[in-house]
Amino acid sequence: MTQLAPAAPGAVWQTLSEHACFGGVQRFHRHDSALIGLPMRFGLYLPPQALAGAQVPLLVYLAGLTCTEETFAVKAGAQRLASALGLALLMPDTSPRGAGVAGEADSWDFGVGAGFYLDATQAPWAAHWRMESYLLAELLPQVWAQAPVQRGATGILGHSMGGHGALTLALRHPGVFKSLSALAPICAPTRCPWGRKAFGGYLGNDESAWAAHDASALMQAQASAPYPQGILIDQGKADKFLAEQLYLEAFESACATAGQPLTLRRHAGYDHGYYFIASVVDEHLRHHARQLSA
Residues serving a catalytic function are 160, 239, 272
Say whether 193 sits in a helix, a strand or coil.
helix
Confirm if 196 and 171 have CB atoms less than 8 A apart: no
Q: How far apart (Å, rounded) are the C-alpha atoms in residues 81 and 22? A: 9
Residues 6 or more apart whose Cβ sits within 8 Å of residue 89: 43, 44, 45, 58, 59, 61, 72, 73, 78, 79, 82
CB 283 within 8 A of CB 234: yes
Dist. CA 113–CA 93, nearest whole Å:
12
SS3 content of the chain, % helix, strand, coil (to 5): 35, 25, 40
C-alpha distances in angstroms, 231 versus 171, 193, 276? 12, 25, 19
Strand ranges for 11-53 from DSSP E: 14-21, 24-32, 39-46
Q: How many helices (H) and strands (E) does the chain have?
A: 10, 9
